[in-house]
Structure formats: C-alpha cells, structure tokens
Chains A and B, each alone.
Chain A
Amino acid sequence: MEDLWFELLFFLEVLFSGLLTGSLYSLVALGFVLIFKASGVFNFAQGAMMLFAALSLVGFQEMLGVHWTVAFLLAFAVMIVLAWCVEKFVLGKLVNQEPIILFMATIGITFFLDGFGQTVWGSDIKVLDIGLPTGSFDMGGIFIDKLELVAGATAAGLVFVLAVFFNKTKIGRALRAVADDHQAAMSVGISLRYIWIVVWSVAGLVGLVAGIMWGSKLGVQFSLSLIALKALPVLMLGGFTSIPGAIIGGLIIGSGEKLAEIYIGPFVGGAIENWFAYMLALVFLLFRPQGLFGEKIIERV
C-alpha cells in the first residue's frame, strides 16, 4: 500500500515536472504561432531570437551594471530594432513569395543571428540571474521546481494577455487579416510593414521571456536556440495558428516526453527524448491533420 502511494506520488511529480517543462515549450511555440498567424511565415529563427534576446539581457546587465528590469527593457528595445531590420531587409523584399522561400529566409536569419550574437556578446556560457527563485518545494510529498512554477505562471499570464490582444484590439484584428490574405489586407489599407514589425516585436518579447526562463534553467548558450526544435512538435500538435493550441500542445508534449522517458525509456535503452515528442505529434496528426486547434482548410475547386 505504501509502495502504491509512493508510485502515485512519483508519477504526479513526473507529470507536474513535465507539464511545467511543457509550459516552457509553449512559450517558445507561442512565438512561432504569433508570427505564423500574422504573416504566414514559419519562423525558424524563433530559437535564435530567443538566444539573442537572452544574450542581450545578460550583456546589458553585465556591461552596464543595471537592474534586470532596465536590462529587460533594453533587450526588448533591441528586439524591436531587430524586428524592424527583419522587415526591412528580409520580409519586405520577399512579399508574396511561396512559404518555403520565406521559411528558408528565416533559416538564413537564424544563421545570421547566431553568428552576430556570438560576435557581439561572445560565445561562452553566461549565467542568467534575474532573481528568479531556485530549488524546489515540497507540496504534500511532491517536489515542485520553483523556477518551473514561475515559468508556468508567466506563460499563462502572457498567453492571456496575447489572447486579449489578438481578439479584442484593433491591431489584433488587423493582424488576423494579414494572416489570412496579404493582398486583401493591403487593399483595405492595412500597412503590412507596420503589422509585421509589430508582430515580430511581440514575438521578440515572447522570445525574450522564454529566453529568460530557459536561460535561468540552462544558462545562456548556443544550445538554447536548439530548444526551438523541441517547440516544433508542439506546433504540430496544437496547430500552427492557434495560441490555445500552443499551450495545450506544450503541456501534452512536455508531460508525454517526461513520462515516456521515465516509464518507457528503460525498456528501449533510454534517450528517447530526442524523438518521442515528434513521434507523438506525428501519430496525432494522422488523426487530425491540422493539429488540435489548427484551422481546418475546406478545399475548394
């Protein structure tokens, strides 16, 4: 009886940890969804943006010795400048190209940002410390990591704000129009340029927050941009165009991955984290090709 209870507690611990990690994935996926929703671009550079934002934050903290809130604002300003540059030099020149071309362009941005970030801020691992709590606390026998909890709460808050933004504000509506049809949106007077800068800035902000969370957890280093690869199954599962999808997808992937590693991993030699998330999403897609909340496309001829 004791054993069973212990097993249950352990399961819940793994589950919780997975859910919280999942919310971290969701944060990253959120950036993707925003950009895809509003500009139809699959932004592979989201991970690099996250890294760059985190690097900038730490860089400003170290260089200028300021409080992290100031560094945060400075880093956000940097992301806005980045958004402007991306619009001017990349997106603006590739209007109406096929999606795969835009996707490849974002890969180009990834390379550029990676190199640029490391040129400017150096390539050693940096410690990101903005005073987030560390360690874990005991909740009735289940250990919960404090950092992960804060991250989860932040993610939830951010999502709420973004959802309101998209659905209730004028800009949000314009963003949705642009996502649907660039030319139609232009024809009703929506400035694509402005919208794209806004979206990429918001995605940059989301990336900054995600970068802070992941950076606090892992340190700010190159591998941070590879976290983006983990967000992809989340997108597959939740749908590329859905904010709630990114959340729920993240939770499912995060918990699924953790549970699989603990419970199935030992049978197949471990290290299944690399591909389990993808397989899970793949199988799911077979039943629902547009993801949980993705838009179902009714094809017409």
Chain B
Amino acid sequence: MFYREAGQFKSSYKEDQAVFPILQDRIGVGITLAIAFIGIPLFGGEYFISAIMIPFLILALAAIGLNILTGYAGQISLGTGGFMAVGAFAAYKFATWTIVIGQFEGTIPLVLTILLSGVVAAIVGILFGIPSLRIKGFYLAVATLAAQFFIEWVLVKFGWFTNYSPSGIITAPKLEILGYVFSSPAEKYILTLSFVVVLAMAAKNLVRSHIGRGWMAIRDMDIAAEIIGFKPLQTKLSAFAVSSFFCGVAGALWAFIHLGTVEPEAFGINRSFSILFMVIIGGMGSIMGAFIGAAFILLLPIFLSNVPPMIGWDIGVDMVAHMEFMIFGALIIFFLIVEPHGLARLWSIGKEKLRSWPFPY
C-alpha cells in the first residue's frame, strides 16, 4: 500500500537508470542520511559513536572493496587485511613526509594523504592480481594468502615503514584539515562518514557502469566474456586495483581514526576472514550488502558478550569466549543455509513483499 511503484512513470532512460528509481526509496535514503549526518552526532553517546558507528563505517568500506573483487568480479580474495595494512602504512609515510620546496615546508593534506594511500594499495593490489590471469578459483584464494602473509612480513621487517620507531608502536598523526582539528568522537565520526558516503557512491556508480558489467561478465562466464570482447587482463586487474583502493583507504581510516595507532596486527588474517564474512553474509554483489554485513559481524560479538549477563546467565569469561566462537560458527552456517545470497537478498525480498502489502501477492 505504501511501497508501490504504481503511478511513478519513467519517461526517459535516465530516470529509469537512477540508483533509487522508486520515490519511497529516495525518501528512505534521505531520511537515513539525515539521521546519519545530523541525528547521530547530536544524540549518539560517545561509546556508541566510537566503538560502534566508526568501526562499522570503516569496515563497511573495506567490505565494499572486497565485494567489488569477490562479489562483482568473482575473484576470491583472502588478502583483504594485507591491502588494508598497505593503506594504513602508506598513509603514515605520506603523513610524516615533510616536503621542502624552496621556502615552503609542509606535509600533505589529510584527505590527499588518505586518497594517495588508497592509490598505493591499488598498485600493490594490481601486482598481486597479476596471477589471477592464470590462476582461478580456490587456487587464487590461496595465492591471495601469499599476499597477506608477505605484506605482513614486509611491514614488520623493514623499519622504514615505521620510520624506525624504537618501540614499534606508532601513533597516528593528528586529524587536521585546513587548521580544524577533528578530535572528539562526533567530529571523527563526521569525517569518517563523509569519506564513506562519497566512496560508497563512487562504488555504486562504478558497478552500474560498463566497467561493473565487465566484472560481472568475467565472474559469470569468463570465456564467453572474452569472446564477446572483454579483455580479461584489464578487467581483472581493474577489479583488483579498485578493490585494493577501497581496502587501502579503509585501512588508513582504521589506523588514523579508529585505532589512533598504525600496527600490522590489526590487519592480520583474522581481519581478512572477518571482512569476507561481512561480504558473504551481507550479500555478494551488493553495495548495500557490505553495510548490512559489517553491521552484523560488528554487532554480533557485542551482542553475544552482553546478552548472557543481561538474562542473568553467569558463565566464566573464558567460557564466554569459547561459546562466542561456537555461536558465531553456528550462525554463519545458519545464514548460509537460509539465504546464501546474504541479508541484502532478504532485504530485497522483504521490499518485494512490501510492494504488495497488505495483499499476499
């Protein structure tokens, strides 16, 4: 009754192709953005913003990156953490690089630093993506693990990356744009939100362009795709590049905004798997799915550790950790059985049902 397309006619292909063709969707997105940009900073508590919203946004960004590579282009990657690490360390190096030109001495502006770190990650991504031309499927997945472990080792081994810091712990630089320092959680949140919204939009544009179609074609039937003219090399490498860019930026944001330090441990193989879960549970081949998946994976441990005490169930701390593992594993299997195409698919099925509500069909 409320969610209908009846009466909304599209009189041009342009209107038909819009990201949100249905008016109700546009209103929904508008409200969401309003809540995100205005509501949350004003009313959200510090814990909520720092421990939930900020990591949620950054991980969603990484999930978008992985989604592009695995969900849209069909190249299974287990090296997401590694590419995030590249972004984080590249950002650190750029941020601590004092450029001296004549009398002018300064550092690269923050936004540029972060974008540049994404570019560096993209280049590394292309390098490790080259094997994808010969290697497919799970062989490729294992090859991406090579990237993960190698990158981890390089970043730890060579002191140049940490500017030869003796303690090995590097604090992230101040977040400053044009003199304005982002220090409070709400400020950091707005900064993160802006990055993520802009990049998510960019991702959405890309996947509905001919480049996105190329990725999906290679994913669905790479031989047929090549026969009708898609160049496998360019298509696959562009997927690796764009995906790594997103992961690199996410890594930089994770280090600079969320952690406040730049450390390789945050980007280990557990991170890679965690992001892969987000993509699968959220829905492969869906930008929105990345957000849903990130929310799910992020909130689950919090939920699991807070609920038992709430219902008066007192188990030892150790036990809780073990049970979390068990429940996490069981839930993953549950979701895969119930909806292998992820929560995003459940969401769109829900919307379809909503279209005919209150009628059954």
Chain A interfacial positions (CB closer than 8 Å to B): 42, 89-90, 93-94, 97-101, 103-105, 107-116, 118-119, 123, 229, 232-233, 235-236, 240, 268-269, 271-272, 274-275, 278-279, 281-282, 285-286, 289-291, 299, 301
B349 within 8 A of A: no
Are B336 and A115 in contact, CB atoms less than 8 angstroms apart?
no
Q: With A and B bound together, what is the CA distance between A222 and B164 in angstroms?
A: 33
- In the bound complex, residues from chain A placing their C-beta under 8 Å from that of B223 are 299, 301
| Residue of B143, B146, B149, B331 contacting most chain A CB atoms (<10 Å) | B146
Q: What are 15 of the A-B contact pairs (CB < 8 Å)?
A: A42-B138, A108-B329, A108-B336, A115-B322, A118-B325, A232-B142, A233-B142, A235-B142, A274-B152, A274-B153, A278-B143, A279-B146, A279-B150, A285-B143, A286-B134
- In the bound complex, residues from chain A placing their C-beta under 8 Å from that of B157 are 268-269, 271
Instruction: Choose from A103, A112, A290 the contact partner of B326 (Cβ within 8 Å).
Output: A112
Are B333 and A101 in contact, CB atoms less than 8 angstroms apart?
no
Are A89 and B333 in contact, CB atoms less than 8 angstroms apart?
yes
Q: With A and B bound together, what is the CA distance between A28 and B214 in angstroms?
A: 38
- Residue pairs across A and B with CB atoms within 8 Å: the count is 134
Give the Cβ gap from A260 to chain B, nearest Cβ, in Å.
13
**14 extra interface residue pairs, beta carbon distance < 8 Å, beyond A115-B325, A271-B153:** A97-B336, A101-B280, A104-B332, A114-B322, A116-B326, A229-B269, A268-B157, A274-B153, A278-B145, A278-B150, A281-B142, A282-B143, A282-B146, A286-B135
How many B residues touch the partner, as a band? 35 or more
Are B326 and A236 in contact, CB atoms less than 8 angstroms apart?
no
- In the bound complex, residues from chain A placing their C-beta under 8 Å from that of B336 are 94, 97, 101, 104-105, 108
- In the bound complex, residues from chain B placing their C-beta under 8 Å from that of A278 are 142-143, 145-146, 149-150
Give the Cβ gap from B172 to chain A, nearest Cβ, in Å.
26
- In the bound complex, residues from chain A placing their C-beta under 8 Å from that of B327 are 115
Of all chain B residues, which has the CB nearest A285? B135
Are A118 and B149 in contact, CB atoms less than 8 angstroms apart?
no
Q: A89-B333, A109-B333, A112-B330 are in contact. Are A274 and B138 (CB under 8 A)?
A: no
Give the Cβ gap from B100 to chain A, nearest Cβ, in Å.
32
- In the bound complex, residues from chain A placing their C-beta under 8 Å from that of B227 are 301
Q: With A and B bound together, what is the CA distance between A178 and B81 in angstroms?
A: 35
Q: With A and B bound together, what is the CA distance between A110 and B326 in angstroms?
A: 9
B232 within 8 A of A: no
Are A115 and B337 in contact, CB atoms less than 8 angstroms apart?
no
Give the Cβ gap from B313 to chain A, nearest Cβ, in Å.
15
Give the Cβ gap from B94 to chain A, nearest Cβ, in Å.
25
Are A111 and B325 in contact, CB atoms less than 8 angstroms apart?
yes
Are B150 and A111 in contact, CB atoms less than 8 angstroms apart?
no
Q: With A and B bound together, what is the CA distance between A229 and B324 in angstroms?
A: 22
Q: Is the interface of B mostly helix, strand, loop or mixed?
A: helix
Are A285 and B139 in contact, CB atoms less than 8 angstroms apart?
yes
Of all chain A residues, which has the CB nearest B280? A104
- In the bound complex, residues from chain A placing their C-beta under 8 Å from that of B324 are 115
Of all chain B residues, which has the CB nearest A111? B329
Q: A233-B142, A286-B131 are in contact. Are A113 and B329 (CB under 8 A)?
A: yes
Give the Cβ gap from A235 to chain B, nearest Cβ, in Å.
7
Instruction: Choose from A99, A112, A236 the contact partner of B329 (Cβ within 8 Å).
Output: A112
Are B142 and A94 in contact, CB atoms less than 8 angstroms apart?
no
Are B323 and A119 in contact, CB atoms less than 8 angstroms apart?
yes
Instruction: Choose from B152, B322, B331 the contact partner of A123 (Cβ within 8 Å).
Output: B322
Q: A289-B135, A299-B223 are in contact. Are A236 and B142 (CB under 8 A)?
A: yes
Are A291 and B139 in contact, CB atoms less than 8 angstroms apart?
yes
Of all chain A residues, which has the CB nearest B333? A108
Of all chain B residues, which has the CB nearest A233? B142
Give the Cβ gap from B305 to chain A, nearest Cβ, in Å.
14
- In the bound complex, residues from chain B placing their C-beta under 8 Å from that of A93 are 337
Q: With A and B bound together, what is the CA distance between A99 and B76 in angstroms?
A: 11
Are A275 and B146 in contact, CB atoms less than 8 angstroms apart?
yes
Give the Cβ gap from A118 to chain B, nearest Cβ, in Å.
5
Which 7 A-B residue pairings sit nearest by Cβ, starting from the closest? Answer: A115-B325, A112-B329, A111-B329, A108-B332, A278-B146, A115-B326, A275-B149
B314 within 8 A of A: no
| Residue of A94, A100, A236, A289 contacting most chain B CB atoms (<10 Å) | A100
- In the bound complex, residues from chain A placing their C-beta under 8 Å from that of B329 are 107-115
Q: With A and B bound together, what is the CA distance between A268 and B156 in angstroms?
A: 12
Per-residue CB contact flags for chain B residues 109-144 toward chain A (1 = under 8 Å, else 0) read: 000000000000000000000010011111101110
Q: With A and B bound together, what is the CA distance between A275 and B322 in angstroms?
A: 29
- In the bound complex, residues from chain B placing their C-beta under 8 Å from that of A271 are 153, 157
Are A115 and B146 in contact, CB atoms less than 8 angstroms apart?
no
- In the bound complex, residues from chain A placing their C-beta under 8 Å from that of B135 are 285-286, 289
Give the Cβ gap from A255 to chain B, nearest Cβ, in Å.
19
- In the bound complex, residues from chain B placing their C-beta under 8 Å from that of A113 are 329
